[in-house]
Structure 1
Amino acid sequence: MQIFRTRSVGLLATLIASVAIPNMGLAQGIDFPTTCLAEADDLINDGLTDLHNMMYIEAEADFTRAAEADANCAMAFWGVAMANFHPLWPGGPTPDETERGIAAAAALAKMSPESALEQAFSDAALAFYAPGHDGYRARINAWADAQVSAYEANGDSIDAAAFAALARLATAPGGPDRVKINAEVGDLLDSLHLIAPDHPGVIHYAIHAYDNPPLKGRGLRYAEIYDKTAPDAAHALHMPAHIFTRTGDWPTSIDLNRRSAEAALKVSGDIVQTHYVHAIDYMVYGHLQIGEPEKAAELVAEMMAIPNHQPSFGGAYALAASPLRLLLEEDKWAEAAALSKDMHSAIPWENFPQTVAMHSFARGLGAARSGDTESAQGAVEELDALHKTMTDRGQNYWARLTEGQILSVKAWIERAKGNDDLAISLQTEAADLEDEIGKSPVTPGHVLPARELLGDLLRETGQPEAAAEAYRKTLALSPNRARSIAALGQLG
């Protein structure tokens, strides 16, 4: 369904108005109406709360217990199917998650839900698992279309509206158009928040909608309350840090992520949930920005010593990025160049080429800035191969980000060779590309911003005014970045 994707102002106003009808009342938290037995119904609400908080492991457990309490409860099997794919997270589900999701969807397909709302939600989940889709993104698009249809047919349901907002965020294109779409989704979520001030999905998805530089101010009110709405959910404790990272409030971000990491460890069993390493990466970034590299290093050491991390994309990203931040933020180029290619054994790195690319980038940049152009060129070749893999897999955002990494390493190779004009041209191209595509929510920031590297290059080549402008532009997108602030101080 394209009508929600090509949102007109008139339709948006209609959809906003549709949720504010008198019979909805002021909702508190989650109270999803089902036709299941009472015991199952309570568990559905628990599972739906965890689902909106993106605590997918806990959500699946809740929905599984609901199915045990009522084998004819369609929403229990819907919940298990939903808990095994993650619309807004980069990367697709693991093979085990896919298997469990398919099994739940197969059971759901044989049921006949007794309410129109249950049927609409079931149709949306089944759209994801339907055969014939060409890849994961096609499945997400199919789910999103059906989830929006569920909302349009059930305009008095907060949960239908919240999931429609999530669907819109999950399918928004990259680049400048994303900000416009996120703002429109934010308008809907703002209206829902007036009706349901404690609804975790509304608060959570609003933070995601406003997690970009132009809209960060609109996200502050949600960032200030989400941890209180779900004080035991690791992801809910972490999410406000997305906004506080955008505003450069490092102490608040560090505290939230400390609480998130502790909560994640409490609910981890045979594996340490990705919520832990995700929070640690944000903490590491924050400590580095306030001049506490020792604390950042301690966190990285503790994280890397844990053997049983969840083998997810989020886990791979944090386990790859955090050690690199310690070196690149501190200009430890020789150490970056000497990094071992061996990475954490818990992660099947071949599944996550974009995270391996960060490692190659750090080694290549370190080598180039240490004068070892041969090793740097070897890293470029690695990045070229990884870029091809990402392109072949349809990972377009990460492929473009890798293009910027390649340009940056090449720029510093040219600088080492004395070709300064070419170096500046390449680094400028990298900075423009990276600024255009922005950062992914999986990261508090690029392991080293291309625009900041341009500032370094201009400063080294005797262009202080241009260098200062590059650092100021870096700070406009990433407020209170210590490295850019220090560089500006040195330039006077």
Structure 2
Amino acid sequence: MQHLHTKARNTFVACISSFLVFVPAISAEANFQTTCNPKADQAFNEGLNLIHNMMYIQAEEAFNKAASAEPTCAMAQWGIAMSNFHPLWPGTPSEAETERGSAAAERLGSMSSESAIEQALIDAAVAFYASSQEGYRAQLKSWAEKQVAAADQHADDLDAAAFAALARLATAPRGADGIKVKSQVGDTLDALHQKAPEHPGVIHYAIHAYDNPLLKERGRPYAEIYDKTAPSAPHALHMPAHIFTRTGEWEKSIDLNSRSAEAALEQSKDVVQSHYAHAIDYMVYGHLQLGNTDEAAGLVDEMLAIQNHQASFGSAYALAAAPVRLPLEQGQWDVAAALSPEMHPVIPWEKFPQTVAMRWFAIGIGAARSGDVDTAQSALAELKSLHAMMKERGQGYWAQLTEAQIMSVEAWIELAGGGSETAVAKQAAAADLEDKIGKSPVTPGHVLPARELLGDMLMELGKPNEAAVAYQATLDLSPNRARSLVALQ
């Protein structure tokens, strides 16, 4: 796949932050001594490292090997239970994952460990699957409370502390309060990194903690080293790009995601893991910021040609987002308006209305900006239907994001009808809402930022000074975005 073979890897630059320790280019490992036999213990630690790298499918395979090596190894069942929910990933576990995780938790109910730390970790995993939990958020909260307690009770256990940091990130609120929590978790992870500079979970979770505009510079040193700790793990190769996307370093993001996508393809068996599509979406975004439109289009074509993508939220998001980025980032409004409502057949789209919304948003904005108000109105109706579905399902963040998309389409329809004052007010409200809720970690960026759309609208209305403020505000959140940079020239 020629588009995956991009520039050679960037030379590794030593970390400049005084609180981080230089990590050599070797494979780093976590090492938890279980009470199981040596063969099971070895397989368990293989799984533990994979789960810290969020390679959940492979982690479960390793924990199953541990269970085969010693059927009474409780920590093997802990690993299987932990592999089947993904605390920081959007979406909920699939039915199959829930079934496998619940079965492992049930087996744990008849097991116990003489090790206090093992029992504390087991209790946390079992808490997630307790039948009394109502909804995924309640399950995460229950697990997080037990996991944090386990770390508090066993302050010298590195893995318990790392998972506690993950738990706090997974249950952090959105907005300013969430940033405060993430900063505090980052402080904890910085201290852990001093003790264990090669621990993959510590490095990985630190990147997640700092994956936001206010804290991104604290994440840069971790981003420079994480791929060295697990050079064959697709997610470890991808994760530094979260920080480099925040800092607008597109070449670094493209290089890392190229390696991630190749590794994901090489390691995929019956289905192409969602790590592949996720990396491609980030690559497409990066190439578009650099003006490499042919490269971006080629990657989208290659991704869409694959017929056995993993039917997960990660795959769904990328398969929905990357194709609409092409016309939107290039201002090809008539092309966006003509996008087909039909999407990749491998994904059960009814499960992921928030991803379908991006297609209708693109059609609506494209149609309104190219003068086809009837098509824009039809797209708006589809967005409102999807918004109602998200609210009914309790998908609060995505419902709010879709609300901002609805207001943006309404604004441009209003502008097409001559209502400039109302149009600007609606687009400004959409931008305020989108900025307030922020972007999800699953995406390198909104498919078209509402604040940038406000800049476009003000430019069309002959207000370049006000437009410049909107474009600069966009760049403050998303440095080096091409459309805003060009607009300010």
TM-score under structure 1 length normalisation: 0.93
Contact 1:29 1:196 in 2 (8 A): no
Match in the other structure for 2:454: 454
> Match of 2:468, as an amino acid?
A
* 1:361 CA displacement: 0.5
Match in the other structure for 2:397: 397
Match in the other structure for 2:326: 326
Match in the other structure for 2:58: 58
* 1:367 CA displacement: 0.8
Q: Which runs of 5+ in 2 are unaligned?
A: 1-27
Matched residues in 2 for 1:397 and 1:157: separation?
34
* 1:132 CA displacement: 1.9
Deviations 1:236-265 (A, max 9, x none): 000000000000000000000000001101
* 1:286 CA displacement: 0.3
Deviations 1:375-395 (A, max 9, x none): 111111111111111111111
Match in the other structure for 1:123: 123
* 1:137 CA displacement: 1.0
Deviations 1:10-59 (A, max 9, x none): xxxxxxxxxxxxxxxxxx63110210000010111110000000000010
Answering whether residue 337 of structure 2 is matched by residue 342 of structure 1, we say no
Match in the other structure for 2:276: 276
* 1:177 CA displacement: 1.1
Matched residues in 2 for 1:133 and 1:399: separation?
23
Matched residues in 2 for 1:415 and 1:91: separation?
35
Answering whether residue 440 of structure 2 is matched by residue 440 of structure 1, we say yes
SS in 2 for 1:376: helix
SS in 1 for 2:214: helix
Matched residues in 2 for 1:201 and 1:182: separation?
15
Answering whether residue 286 of structure 2 is matched by residue 286 of structure 1, we say yes
Q: How does 1:249-264 map to 2 (within 5 A)?
A: 249-264=249-264
Matched residues in 2 for 1:168 and 1:373: separation?
46
Answering whether residue 151 of structure 2 is matched by residue 143 of structure 1, we say no
* 1:277 CA displacement: 0.4
Match in the other structure for 2:20: none
Matched residues in 1 for 2:460 and 2:345: separation?
39
Match in the other structure for 2:16: none
Match in the other structure for 2:378: 378
> Match of 1:353, as an amino acid?
P
* 1:332 CA displacement: 0.9
Match in the other structure for 1:477: 477
Deviations 1:138-184 (A, max 9, x none): 11111111111111111110000000000000001111111111000
* 1:330 CA displacement: 0.5
SS in 2 for 1:214: coil
Deviations 1:297-332 (A, max 9, x none): 000000000000001111100000000000100011
* 1:463 CA displacement: 0.2
Deviations 1:391-431 (A, max 9, x none): 11111110100110000000000010011000000000000
Of 174-183 and 321-330, more deviation after overlay is shown by 174-183
Answering whether residue 169 of structure 2 is matched by residue 169 of structure 1, we say yes
Deviations 1:200-235 (A, max 9, x none): 000000000000001000001100000001101000
Q: How does 1:18-417 map to 2 (within 5 A)?
A: 29-417=29-417
* 1:335 CA displacement: 1.1
Matched residues in 1 for 2:258 and 2:160: separation?
32
Matched residues in 2 for 1:63 and 1:29: separation?
16
Matched residues in 2 for 1:151 and 1:89: separation?
22
Q: Which runs of 5+ in 1 are unaligned?
A: 1-27
Matched residues in 2 for 1:287 and 1:273: separation?
22
Deviations 1:329-349 (A, max 9, x none): 001111111111110111110
Contact 1:248 1:478 in 2 (8 A): yes
Contact 1:176 1:436 in 2 (8 A): no
Matched residues in 2 for 1:228 and 1:76: separation?
27
Contact 1:78 1:104 in 2 (8 A): yes
Matched residues in 1 for 2:389 and 2:172: separation?
23
Deviations 1:447-472 (A, max 9, x none): 00000000000000000000011101
Matched residues in 2 for 1:478 and 1:112: separation?
49
Q: Which runs of 4+ in 1 moved over 4 A?
A: none
SS in 2 for 1:182: helix
SS in 2 for 1:451: helix
SS in 2 for 1:248: coil
Matched residues in 2 for 1:196 and 1:405: separation?
44
SS in 2 for 1:401: helix
Deviations 1:108-142 (A, max 9, x none): 11101120111011111100110021111111111
Of 376-385 and 418-427, more deviation after overlay is shown by 376-385
Match in the other structure for 1:21: none
Contact 1:74 1:113 in 2 (8 A): yes
Matched residues in 1 for 2:118 and 2:266: separation?
33
> Match of 1:420, as an amino acid?
S
Match in the other structure for 1:3: none
Matched residues in 1 for 2:137 and 2:312: separation?
17
* 1:484 CA displacement: 0.6
Of 331-340 and 407-416, more deviation after overlay is shown by 331-340
Matched residues in 1 for 2:367 and 2:255: separation?
35
Matched residues in 1 for 2:437 and 2:225: separation?
29
Contact 1:277 1:303 in 2 (8 A): yes
Match in the other structure for 1:5: none
Matched residues in 1 for 2:228 and 2:417: separation?
55
Contact 1:211 1:219 in 2 (8 A): yes
Matched residues in 1 for 2:44 and 2:168: separation?
24
- Between Structure 1 and Structure 2, how many residues are aligned? 462
